[in-house]
Amino acid sequence: MRILVTGGAGFLGSHLCERLLSEGHDVICLDNFFTGSKDNIIHLMDNHRFELVRHDIVEPILLEVDRIYNLACPASPVHYQYNPVKTLKTSVMGAINMLGMAKRVKARILQASTSEVYGDPQVHPQTEAYWGNVNPIGIRSCYDEGKRVAETLMMDYHRQNKVDIRLIRIFNTYGPRMAEHDGRVVSNFILQALRNEDITVYGDGSQTRSFCYVSDLVEGMCRMMECDDFTGPVNLGNPVENTILEFAEKIITITGSKSKVIFSPLPQDDPKQRRPDISLAGERLGWKPQVELDAGLARTAEYFAARIGKGAVQK
Ligand code: NAD
Ligand code: UDP
């Protein structure tokens, strides 16, 4: 098949392009390089089935494809809050443009939605049936509400125009090729630990997150795309939940770091807890994560160590 991956030069997108090429597909990677990088896809450039298009999905584009994975959107709070209006345009106008393309060429389209549609959840763990608790006017809203509108657009194009859609809600995912300066907890803590700098825990560190390794996520994403008669939404994530403080301690141990934990103010609207209920993904896709947190973190630490020229991780 000919497959379009928007945001293909980003963290998740680059792993997805790799996977689709390995299955023998033709892949068009579309990216405006806001948070993505050519470094992430440079190893794919020699593959004659791989094509790179520099384009901003806020603008329409004409392409003929069989599948569209719509991943283009900055994902870390630091990046999506840098230009909130642009973040909203990317989610909303990007979804309209990609759905328009899907409708025109009768392609199946998968939208990368997020656990952020649940906001600061009052239901725990989060099931797909939960409608969420989202602040519409806060500093995270450009991302959360943009993704919620993208979900609405997907469902309306499906009901109104019979577009063949797939909706996944991705929970915190980590792994090699996360951007070094994206401010997300995994990259921040690992880099701080590798440099023996203080580990910056925001708030008292009692807030929780559940971290999924990138290969597991890509597997779930591809299964969902190729699953017949199931539009989703479906949660994809790892249900193993840790407090952020536990997570900091884990990273110190894995990297053999001398870092100490320090506490800084909690950002506004930071969700207090997050853990996916993945029963639906289990039932419909036969999917569950395989990579243990310690193993995934060790691989990610190796990647960052190589990036910053630190050599092998000590443990
Ligand atoms: P990322 O920032 O590494 O990748 C996003 C990519 O989209 C980048 O390559 C960026 O340059 C590109 N992009 C941004 N705006 C664009 C635009 N207007 N036009 C074209 N390209 C544009 O982030 P990621 O972690 O790989 O996330 C990929 C997708 O998955 C995003 O939609 C994100 O919301 C979603 N998601 C990720 C996570 C996670 O934990 N990584 C969790 C939930 C949802
Ligand atoms: N966090 C932290 N220190 C950091 C970066 C993040 O304590 O240096 C916390 C952040 O406040 C949040 C959690 O880690 O509670 C996850 O943050 P991230 O930005 O990675 O993702 P999100 O909040 O979108 O889940």
Measured between alpha carbons, how far is residue 259 from residues 46, 199, 256, 297, 311 in Å?
Answer: 41, 6, 9, 17, 18
Q: Whose CA is nearest to atom 6 of ligand 1?
A: 7
Q: What CA–CA distance (Å, rounded) separates 117 from 140?
A: 11
How confident is residue 229, by pLDDT bands cut at 50, 70 and 90?
A: confident
Ligand 1 pocket, residue 33 CB under 6 Å: yes
Ligand 2 pocket, residue 147 CB under 6 Å: no
CA 259 to chain centre: 28
Taking Cα atoms as reference points, which of 116, 146, 149 lies closest to residue 269? 116
How confident is residue 64, by pLDDT bands cut at 50, 70 and 90?
A: very high
Could you give the percent of the chain with pLDDT greater than 90? 95
Amino acid residing at 162: K
Ligand 2 pocket, residue 207 CB under 6 Å: yes
pLDDT of residue 309: 84
The pLDDT of residue 288 is above 70:
yes
pLDDT of residue 315: 41
Pocket test for ligand 1, best of 11, 40, 149, 184 (most atoms within 8 A of CB): 11
Answer whether 254's CB lies under 8 Å from 301's CB: yes
The pLDDT of residue 89 is above 90:
yes
Could you give the percent of the chain with pLDDT greater than 70? 98
* Structure confidence by residue, pLDDT tens digits, 234-279: 999 999 999 999 999 999 999 999 999 999 999 998 999 999 999 9
Answer whether 216's CB lies under 8 Å from 238's CB: yes
Which helix (H) or strand (E) segment holds residue 297: the answer is: helix 293-307
| pTM of the predicted protein model | 0.96
Instruction: Please report which ligand is nearest the Cα atom of 261.
Output: 2
The pLDDT of residue 225 is above 60:
yes
Answer whether 199's CB lies under 8 Å from 252's CB: yes
Instruction: Please report which ligand is nearest the Cα atom of 180.
Output: 1
How confident is residue 313, by pLDDT bands cut at 50, 70 and 90?
A: low
